[in-house]
A and B are shown apart, each in its own frame.
Chain A
Amino acid sequence: MTYGFSPLTICLALLAAWCIVALAGLVRPRSIAFVAWTLFPLGALCGTGLTVVAAMSLGQSPEQLVLPIGLPDLPVHLRLDGLSSVFLFLLGAASTGISIFAAGYFRRGEGAAPGLLCLQYHLFLASMGFVFLADDAYAFMLAWETMALSSYFLVTTQHGIAEIRDAGFLYLLMAHLGAIAILLSFGVLQGGSWHFTFDAMRAAHLDSGWAIVAFCLALIGFGTKAGLVPLHVWLPEAHPAAPSPVSALMSGVMLKTALYGIIRVSFDLLGQPAWWLGLVPIGLGLFSALYGVVFAAAQTDMKRLLAYSSIENVGILFTGLGLAIVFAGSGMRSAAALTLIAVLYHAINHAFMKSLLFMGTGAVLHATGERNLGRLGGLIHRMPWVAWLMLIGVLALAGLPPLNGFVSEWLLLQSFLFAYGVPHPFINMLLPLGAALLALAAALAAYVMVKFFGVIFLGQPREPSLRQAHDAGFAERAGLGVLALACVLFGLFPSTIIAYLSVVTRQLGLGGLAAGNAPWWLLVPIPERQSSYAPLVFFTVILAVVVLAIANVRIFYHQRVRKGPAWDCGFGELNSRMQDTAEGFGQPIRHLFQPLFDIVRELPSPFDSAPRYRLVIGDRMWRHLYQPVGPMVRRVADKVAWLQQGRIATYLLYSFVTLVVLLALML
């Protein structure tokens, strides 16, 4: 080390700084000036530091550290390798933008005291950082549970509202079910050595049966956290319930901890799972992607819409992960490396774009007090900063070039094209069809994003009160700006970022991508295929044509413009109720994908004096998979209650029988 401190110790110091900032919130919990204008910017500074350190440590060899804290004989093991660095970078970069935004956002102090929010928020950040650094099961689970608990309190900030309490409870319940599965998975992974460090798990070579059990448990546990369908039910409830910066953090970063976990288990701890195990995440992932995006298209609440879109993106990430497992297990290492790079790239991209959009909805919520898309509209005039910054996020999430969302989708589609080379009959024919489904999900995402942006920001205001809406404050704009800039940069310089991400695949034993001799601005992931993408050239050409067109029009023609009332085919008397509502815009999707929805609809009759239209869209999974669980538990409990006779003699008999049975077992 040239500079005295190793990256791991600096990361630890920064995470500790987050903890200190968290505790400092309790010093003057009610002072908005202190919490918002001192502590949150400090937190953002730590985030920036973490970003820089993580990026710099990416090229270095893994580094371990044992901290003698915790229970006797159970020290905390920490490790910083390429995979951890990438996710720490994601955490640092996204939290920088979110913390700056939060400094402006929490100024009114909604629900709990701002100091308390500061405590939970920074603990949440630090615990996610520790998840990425943990190198033994104890430390991992400790960080994991701290993350779940701190985010639970953040979700239930406005605990006065019954729905939010319900959402919080559901979240906590699902989080713990997931945690149990992860714990069991670690239990299997230690392979009889009874050492729970990750090193011991790497050394333990499980036989194939136990490897399958470990992988499936990990998939259930991390899939629950990530919101993989059918384990997703908590996500569209919990994410919208939280204050917007927290929603941003949960959707943008917390879902990625689950991705980190599953990559860590499948590529590092297990070594290499059997290739066909990858088919499970591919199937679930594709289903989640389509399910999420179809439901997003039908939503009328802007934060729920984004939450469902997160389910879609989690689906895309898990599809990629499954594909990487299939490739790695079939000996196609460079294809596996490409796929895994695409997954990591998409994880970072999604963190930026989804955080940006969630924060934007927060700004809209503050300005208008309205979350329902049906009561918004025309805000681009009142909130130009938020609107234009969010347009970047919207275009990125819609997967359009030259922004970042497109790059990772492009890489993933490229890797899907390798699938026909998989040496397993039939599977190599089914997998390219997966690419078609992925393309469908991506195209639907564009539909959803046009709906989202168009209904909120374009058109006429649907409520008179919207004319008083005000643009976001300076801190909020800055926070949005940081993430929008990240979206643009990650879209324009993919080769640089992929070179960094190759470090991870090399450390995981998949090898990096072949270097080729492409210049830095040209992305050619597989040189022999010659498929190339150069967003910078692309962007320059479009920009040049746009500028030339504007200049030509100005030089050769006049630029007279007259403002007049909208034409609308000459119907006149235009009012805001004639625009599509959110329900209206989602109608083709409801029509096409009807079997997925649980629709309750009240139509007005033609003779109603006050016509009223009501539409409730439910999740079939909730009714068919989750609702029966409650009565079932009750029935089982009723049966078990028979044991409780209420007479001491019976209970003594139970004790006696138990003792006899135990003695029999011992002897």
Chain B
Amino acid sequence: MNPFDWLVQLLGIALALIAAPVFLGWVNKCRAWLQNRSAPSVWLPYRGIRKLFHKEAVIAENASRLFRLAPYVVFGAMVTAAAIIPSIATRLPITQAADAIALVGLLATARVFLSLAAMDVGTAFGTLGARREMMIGFLAEPALLVVIFVVSLACATTALPMIAERLSAQALSLTPSLAFTAVAFTMVLLAENARIPVDNPATHLELTMIHEALLLEYSARHLALMEWAAALKLFNYACIGFAVFIPWGISTGNSATSLAESVALLGVKLLVAGFGLAFIETVSAKLRVFRAPEFLATAFLFAVLGLLVRLLLGS
């Protein structure tokens, strides 16, 4: 481990922390454009977080310590995930700490803490949100794991940096198994990040929301951390997608020029992915909560199809 690697690692974490809210802002901006609305600034999520940090926290009378601890744990889990996912470089010190399966476990830890915190105050919406969040979670997690299995069969490893390295060494081509899993992964990304076909990030209509229902009782700095963690989660999922499906351009050595290239390419990928996400959200309608399992079952099916194609055709 040389100091340069640690520097790049810290740079990656800082980049994730900074870029995540902007990425969210970019998605919102694209969505507004596509929907013929006047678009908010991409910096808006920042201003929201900053404002929230300055406010006085109001906490429900019967909230326990778990309620106050959870935002920090969720935020910590998301930052750790950002440190593990190879976003700009593959040879980093902390990436070894967890492979893709452990990463899924880490995201599940964040989800469980979020749900437990939502149940803590004992409101009707909190428990409703927790129940729905866990339902989406248990449906999305196997689909995500099968996606990872497919890729790890192709690369003979479950370590994300190695996957990114081995895939980026190949020529730019779309294998059938990866095409199926890419569809599955996109569906999981939408569901896990409370995006439109499954949940609506813009709604506060009580009976349809999932993610917002979990955060209802939070305010001020706790809410800021939760919002930031949610933005980081979207960023992390995008970076997992890049590492697995379009790893080209990621820095595999330790030279400063390749790193700069890698950062620039990441920016381009994020811009395109953000627009794509906004496009999907614009052309689809929100499903009823009980259609969400069908949506995720489809994702699972696509992932399994990818697995079978991989095993049958070997490509």
A residues adjacent to B (C-beta < 8 A): 377-378, 380-381, 391, 395, 398-401, 406, 410, 413-414, 417, 420, 428-429, 432-433, 435-437, 439-440, 442-444, 446-447, 449-451, 453-455, 458-460, 522, 528-534, 537-538, 541-543, 545-546, 549-550, 553, 556-558, 560-569, 571, 574, 576, 578-580, 584-585, 587-588, 591-592
Given contacts A440-B142, A443-B108, A557-B221, contact A568 B80 (CB under 8 A): no
In the complex, whether B18 has a CB less than 8 A from a CB of chain A is no
Are A569 and B206 neighbours in the complex by a CB distance under 8 Å? yes
B93 CB to nearest chain A CB (Å): 9
Given A439-B145, A530-B157, A459:B57 Cβ within 8 A: no
Query: In the complex, which of the residues B106, B132, B149, B300 has the most CB atoms of chain A within 10 Å of its own CB atom?
Result: B149
**Which of B54, B109, B152, B304 counts the most A-chain CB atoms under 10 A from its CB?**
B109
Cβ of B142 and Cβ of A417 under 8 Å apart? Answer: no
Q: A564–B112 contact, CB under 8 A?
A: no
A567 touches B221 (CB 8 A): no
B159 pairs with A564, CB closer than 8 A: no
A447 to B137, Cβ gap below 8 A?
yes
Complex Cα–Cα for A451 and B146 (A): 25
Q: List 21 A-B contacts (CB under 8 A).
A: A380-B66, A381-B62, A417-B158, A420-B153, A432-B153, A433-B304, A439-B141, A440-B138, A443-B108, A443-B142, A459-B127, A522-B96, A528-B156, A533-B97, A560-B56, A560-B57, A565-B61, A566-B61, A567-B216, A574-B123, A580-B124
| Beta-carbon contact of A538 and B97 below 8 Å | yes
With A458-B119, A549-B76, A566-B122 known, 12 other A-B pairs at CB within 8 A are A429-B312, A440-B142, A446-B134, A450-B115, A532-B96, A533-B99, A542-B76, A562-B56, A563-B60, A564-B59, A574-B122, A588-B135
A501 to chain B, nearest CB (A): 20
Nearest CB of A to B6, in Å: 13
Residues of A within 8 A of B42 (CB): none
Partner of A538, one of B101, B102, B127: B102
Which chain A residues lie closer than 8 Å to B216 at the CB level?
A: 567-569
B99: chain A residues within 8 A (beta carbon): 531-533
In the docked arrangement, what's the CA distance between A414 and B77, Å?
Answer: 23
Taken together as a complex, chains A and B put the C-alpha atoms of A453 and B112 apart, in Å, by: 11
Q: Does B308 contact A (CB under 8 A)?
A: yes
Q: Which of A400, A459, A538, A566 contacts B119 (CB 8 A)?
A: A459
Q: Which residue from chain B places its CB closest to the CB of A581 in the assembled complex?
A: B127
Residues of A within 8 A of B108 (CB): 398-400, 443, 446
Q: How far is the CA of A190 from the CA of B130 in the complex (A)?
A: 56
In the complex, the answer to whether A406 meets B157 with C-beta atoms within 8 Å is no
B246 interface residue (CB < 8 Å to A): no
Chain B interface (Cβ < 8 Å from any Cβ of A): 53-54, 56-64, 66, 72-73, 75-77, 79-80, 83, 94, 96-99, 101-102, 105-106, 108-109, 111-112, 115-116, 119-128, 130-132, 134-135, 137-139, 141-142, 145-146, 149, 152-153, 156-159, 162, 204, 206, 216-217, 221, 225, 290, 293, 300, 303-304, 307-308, 311-312
> How far is A119 from B57 in the complex, measured between Cα atoms in Å?
56
With beta carbons under 8 angstroms apart, the residue of B62, B112, B204 that contacts A400 is: B112
Q: How far is the CB of B220 from chain A (nearest CB, A)?
A: 8
Contacts of A563 in B (CB 8 A): 58-61
> What secondary structure prevails in chain A residues at the interface with B?
helix
A435 x B221 contact (CB < 8 A): no
Instruction: Find chain A residues with CB under 8 A from B105 CB.
Output: 399-401, 406, 410
What's the Cα separation between A429 and B76 when bound, in Å?
38
Contact of A561 among B57, B80, B124, B138 (CB under 8 A): B57
- In the bound assembly, the distance between CA atoms of A532 and B159 in angstroms comes to 7
In angstroms, Cα B109 to Cα A442, docked, is 13
9 nearest A-B pairs in the assembled complex, by CB-CB distance: A459-B122, A580-B127, A454-B119, A460-B122, A566-B60, A443-B138, A545-B76, A537-B97, A443-B141
Complex interface: chain A residues within 8 A of B98 (CB): 401, 532-534, 538
B138 touches A565 (CB 8 A): no
Q: Are B123 and A566 in contact (CB under 8 A)?
A: yes
**Are B122 and A436 in touch, CB under 8 angstroms?**
no
B131 CB contact (under 8 Å) in A410, A558, A588? A588
Q: Which residue of A lies closest to B293 (CB)?
A: A592
Min distance, Cβ B21 to any Cβ of chain A, angstroms: 15
B109/A401 in contact, CB under 8 A = yes
Which partner residue on chain A sits nearest B111 by CB separation?
A446
Is B159's CB under 8 angstroms from A531's CB? yes
Closest CB in chain A relative to B36 CB, distance in Å: 30
B64 near A458: Cβ-Cβ < 8 Å:
yes
Q: Would B102 and A406 count as touching, CB distance under 8 A?
A: yes
Instruction: Report the minimum CB–CB distance from A493 to chain B (whole Å).
Output: 14
- Give Cα distance in the complex from A446 to B116, angstroms: 11
> Would you give the shortest CB distance from A624 to chain B, in whole angstroms?
26
A414–B72 touching, CB < 8 Å = no
Query: In chain A, what residue has the closest Cβ to B123?
Result: A568
Q: How far is the CA of A414 from the CA of B98 in the complex (A)?
A: 13
Most buried by B among A400, A542, A556, A564: A542
Task: Name the residue among B131, B138, B300, B304 with the largest chain A CB count within 10 angstroms.
Answer: B138
In the complex, the chain B residue whose C-beta lies closest to that of A381 is B64
Given A458-B116, A568-B125, decide whether A417 and B308 contact each other with a Cβ distance below 8 A: no
Residues of A within 8 A of B308 (CB): 429
Smallest Cβ-Cβ distance to B68: which chain A residue: A561
Given known pairs A417-B153, A447-B135, A561-B59, the reply for A566 and B121 (CB within 8 Å) is: yes
- Docked pose: A168 CA to B162 CA in angstroms: 54
CB-CB under 8 A for A417 and B152, given A453-B116, A533-B102 = yes
Question: Chain B residues with Cβ under 8 A from A562's Cβ?
Answer: 56-59
How far, in angstroms, from A451 to B128 measured CA to CA in the complex? 12
Question: Are A459 and B158 neighbours in the complex by a CB distance under 8 Å?
Answer: no
CB proximity of B28 to chain A, nearest CB, Å: 23
Name the residue of chain A whose CB is nearest to the CB of B93.
Answer: A537
Q: Which residue of B lies closest to A380 (CB)?
A: B64
CA distance A451 to B127 in the complex (A): 10
Once bound together, how far apart are the Cα atoms of A574 and B123, in whole Å? 7
Residues of A within 8 A of B119 (CB): 450, 454-455, 458-459, 579-580
Given the complex, which residues of A lie within 8 Å of B80, measured CB to CB? Answer: 538, 541-542, 545
Bound-state Cα–Cα, A399 to B111, Å: 13
Distance A588 CA – B132 CA, assembled complex (angstroms): 8
Question: What CA separation (Å) do A567 and B61 show in the bound complex?
Answer: 10
What chain B residues lie within 8 Å of A450 (beta carbons)?
A: 112, 115-116, 119, 130, 134
Pick from B59, B96, B304 the residue with the most CB of A within 10 Å. Answer: B96
B304: A residues at CB distance < 8 A: 433, 436
In the complex formed, the residue of A with least CB distance to B102 is A533
Name the contact of A435 in the complex, choosing from B73, B96, B149 (C-beta under 8 A).
B149
Q: How far is the CA of A546 from the CA of B145 in the complex (A)?
A: 27
Given A533-B102, A561-B59: A580 touches B311 (CB 8 Å cut-off): no
Is A400 touching B109 in the complex (CB atoms < 8 A)?
Answer: yes
Most buried by B among A377, A455, A528, A550: A550
- Which one, B53, B58, B112, B145, contacts A557 given CB within 8 A? B53
Task: Please pick, from B64, B79, B149, the residue contacting A436 in the complex, using a CB distance under 8 A.
Answer: B149
Q: Are B59 and A429 in contact (CB under 8 A)?
A: no
The closest CB in chain B to the CB of A528 belongs to B156
Smallest CB gap from B150: residue in A: A432
Closest chain A CB from B292 CB (angstroms): 9
CB distance from A591 to the nearest CB of B (A): 7
Partner of A395, one of B54, B60, B109, B138: B109
Distance, CA A587 to CA B289, complexed state (A): 13
- In the complex, the answer to whether A567 meets B127 with C-beta atoms within 8 Å is no
Give the distance to chain A from B151, nearest Cβ to Cβ, in Å: 11
Chain B neighbourhood of A568, CB < 8 A? 121, 123-126, 216-217
With A446-B112, A578-B123 already in contact, the answer to whether A401 and B138 are too (CB < 8 A) is no
Residues from chain B with a CB closer than 8 A to the CB of A455 are 119
Determine whether the beta carbon of B138 is less than 8 Å from that of A541.
no
Given contact pairs A380-B64, A381-B64, A395-B112, A541 touches B75 in the complex (Cβ within 8 A): no
Given the complex, which residues of A lie within 8 Å of B79, measured CB to CB?
541, 545
Contact B122 A377 (CB under 8 A): yes
